[in-house]
Amino acid sequence: MAKVAILMGSKSDFPVVRPAAEALKKFGVETEVRVISAHRTPDEAHAFAENAEKNGVEVIVCAAGKAAHLGGVIAAYTTLPVIGLPVKTDMMGGLDSLLSIVQMPSGIPVATVGVNGGENAGLLALEILGVKYPDIARKLKEFKASMANKINADDKALQEELKNL
């Protein structure tokens, strides 16, 4: 069974993380959610990253705000795919988090979704897993088809509404 770890620098980040966990669970992916800080619990971050693959983790999502170093620290200690999830902040609206995550040094890639983009972080993790797991890939295709069907239905309804103007 596929397994994704979602780490957050602070428990207060959970509202941003929740949509990622929900997306993964909808697809039947085992999800481990932890609070681990790159700055306040660096030993735990290091140990988690070094043992993640051995513990069955295949993708890691790291949510963090402000300095937002969690994804980079985790990526430094593992070859597993790491997805950065920037958390909106009061000071710069999340731009600080986004820039901290997206500007990794050469050799330490961290894929990055938009600020507070929890659902997209979960979906990106699923797309990565879909390379290995055909059932996940199939479910993603169905998910995307259902989104397209909804948009097409909305467009059709709008066109009907516009005829009555």
Residues in binding site: 10, 13, 40
Alpha carbons within 13 angstroms on the beta-carbon side of residue 90 total: 0
Alpha carbons within 13 angstroms on the beta-carbon side of residue 89 total: 18
Distances (CA, A) of 106 to 73, 75, 86, 102: 13, 12, 20, 11
Task: Give the annotated binding-site residues for substrate.
Answer: 10, 13, 40
CA nearest to 9, candidates 74, 78, 79, 62 = 62
